[in-house]
Amino acid sequence: MKKKLVLASGNQGKIREIQAMFSEYEVVGYKTLGFDFEIEENGSTFYENALIKAKTISDILKLPVIADDSGLCVDALDGAPGIYSARYAGDGDDEHNNQLLLKNLENKENRNASFVCCMVYYDGGKILSANGKTDGKILFEKQGENGFGYDPLFFSFDINKCFGLATAEEKNKVSHRFRAVSELKRIMKEEGLL
């Protein structure tokens, strides 16, 4: 029987992505274990927010937790939406976030952007972290229905197509989250946790 690894996310898309990458564990979303309150992410960096989530959940559930904080960083917007990516438009709605991003990029020539992810493992004592990044650009209009969040606007330089048109397998091979998880798994192996 696989050991449980709690993922500090209620986002089903993210849970599926992480489970596919972390097959050594049974990855479960924290809300399925009865943890049903929101955690205030008041850090100023992706790392701080990920650590806040991991520690809060692990301290209550007494299980190892991986938490990530990730977002879209757009060059022409000085790195925005950044740590505010999920709530960029204020209400957490993907469509509203995408509309605001397009509005804020009107008349901007440089549309280069990166998805950035910081992944933290915390088990009550040990803290491990890893980062991942994938580069691309923001399109002028949405393409495709795949993925979630900003995926329909993000053209990946790695796969030469929009994440909204990519299969889950195509995206997972190059995503910021995949790269962060791969690095975290490498560190966890070194620490004897895998």
Domain ranges of the chain: 4-190
Mean pLDDT calculated for residue range 50-78 = 93
- Where is 127: in which H helix or E strand? strand 127-138
* pLDDT at position 30 over 90: no
Determine the pLDDT at residue 71.
95
Instruction: Name the pTM for this structure.
Output: 0.87
How many of the other CB atoms lie within 10 Å of CB of 115?
A: 25
Distances (CA, A) of 95 to 21, 150, 161, 177: 27, 9, 20, 21
Confidence (pLDDT) at 94: 92
Q: At what angle do helices 12-21 and 176-190 cross, to 10 degrees?
A: 50
d(CA 109, CA 165): 23
Tell me the C-alpha to C-alpha distance, in Å, between residue 30 and each of 43, 116, 157.
20, 22, 33
Active-site residue (options: 68, 69, 78, 135): 69
Q: Which CATH number fits domain 4-190: 3.60.21.10, 1.10.3720.10, 3.30.70.1280, 3.90.950.10?
A: 3.90.950.10
Report the alpha-carbon distance of residue 66 to residue 161 in Å, rounded. Answer: 29
Q: What percent of the chain has pLDDT over 90?
A: 65
Quick one: average pLDDT of 96-104?
96
**Is residue 110 pLDDT above 80, yes or no?**
yes
At residue 147, the pLDDT reads 85
Rounded average pLDDT over 133-145: 96
Between CA 40 and CA 86 the distance in angstroms is 13
Give catalytic status of residue 69 as yes or no. yes
> Residues 123-141: what's their mean pLDDT?
96
Question: What's the pLDDT score for residue 140?
Answer: 95
Is the model's pLDDT at 96 over the cut of 90?
yes
